[in-house]
A = this chain, B = another copy of it.
Amino acid sequence: MAQQFTYETLLERVVAIFRRAGMNEVQATALARVFVSGERDACKSHGVYRIEGTLRTLKAGKVKGDAVPRLVDDGGQGAVVRVDAGGGFSNAGFELGLPVLAERARALGLAALVVNDCTHFAALWPEVEAVTAQGLAGLVMCPSYATVAPTGGRAPLLGTNPLAFGWPRPGGQPPYVFDFATSVAARGEIELHRRAGKTLPEGWAIDAEGNPTTDPEAALEGAMLPFGGHKGSAIATMIELLAGVMIGDLTSPEVLDYLGTTALAPFHGELILALDPAKFSAGRAGDPLARAEALFAAIEGQGARLPSQRRFAARARAEAEGITLSDDEVAQLDRFLELGLDALD
């Protein structure tokens, strides 16, 4: 027997759990929003499943649940907006910075939001979608922890370093959005293969000696591989440079050193670029949003799919029929609400 929630009732429940665990309102609300959005979009690996990891990271003292993010003013002149997340979750920092980022991007044509000193434990698409809701294109990236070997290498160094992009679409349509790891697979997928006793597809991982392996145990002791060979490896390295060293925050190997484990949510920074199609196309023929629709129609017209369509279909279903959690999931939420951090082993 499962239980139904609306977005709002589930949000209220998750916020209450986070408050019970000692998080302040701004942290609890921002993080709950992205997990409930994940659940709504049938993106289970980024849904309420993540609450437990959040509580573990809080309990380990590796994130500040009561942090108040702070806008670091540059005098309002530059294209770089900086938020000091104060050791809290990235999401509260992002929510604080977004209106300033959008205003600056509309004024200058493009702008960047840097979120420093944050724990990042959510998908990037909620942030990309929030940028597109401002009529802007968005590009978001962050490191993770060292679990991926560079192409030609033999040991974990790069993170799964997600890259996400969004483009606004007219007429109330959901935006064009992609959000993916720059590793072939997510670490969770390897763990799922291990639990199911299945071998991995070729090309996902290497063992501790640097040799290709399809054994999930050996892969977890070795390293994952970047998607697309040396090209994906180069993109993952770029993300270390831009969203790690350039913004003065930790790279994936530094994150792993800091945490000492991949069982807690990673602590690092995040880079968000916002670009204004109206400014970039000013004085040129054609409306960029209309021209983008023609491109999307041509892609779909030949039988290819736009990314995120399954997620948007799930969202439409959830908005009509509610979000369904299993009895086990509801029981776990109840336990977290009752016991707070004591619910953890």
Contact = CB atoms under 8 A, between A and B. Distances in A.
A78 interface: yes
Interface stretch (A3-11, A33-41, A188-196, A245-253): A245-253
A155 B302 contact: yes
Contact of A108 (B108, B282, B299): B108
A246 B287 CA distance: 9
Contacts of A284: 116, 247-249
Interface in A227-264: 227-234, 237-238, 240-242, 244-249, 251, 253
Contact of A152 (B238, B253, B292, B305): B305
Contacts of A286: 245, 248
Given A116-B284, A248-B286, 19 more contacts: A78-B279, A79-B111, A82-B283, A108-B108, A110-B112, A137-B241, A149-B302, A149-B304, A153-B299, A155-B302, A157-B299, A165-B234, A210-B303, A234-B307, A246-B277, A246-B281, A248-B285, A253-B295, A273-B273
Interface in A34-66: none
B234 A281 contact: no
B228 A291 contact: no
A90 to B, nearest CB: 16
A110 to B, nearest CB: 5
Contacts of A229: 227-228
A203 to B, nearest CB: 11
Contact of A237 (B82, B245, B299): B299
B279 A240 contact: no
* Most chain B CB inside 10 Å of its own CB: which residue of A108, A153, A182, A242: A108
Given A228-B231, A279-B80, A295-B241, A150 B247 contact: no
A288 interface: yes
A167 interface: yes
A107 B107 CA distance: 15
Interface string A269-312: 00001010101111111101001100100110011110100000
A247 to B, nearest CB: 5
A241 B281 contact: no
A157 B300 CA distance: 11
A84 B233 CA distance: 35
A109 interface: yes
17 contacts: A72-B283, A78-B109, A80-B110, A108-B108, A114-B280, A150-B302, A151-B304, A157-B298, A167-B238, A178-B238, A227-B229, A228-B228, A244-B291, A245-B281, A247-B281, A248-B284, A248-B286
A315 interface: no
A280 B77 CA distance: 14
Contacts of A245: 277, 281, 286, 288, 291-292, 295
A268 interface: no
A292 B248 contact: no
A191 to B, nearest CB: 21
A152 to B, nearest CB: 4
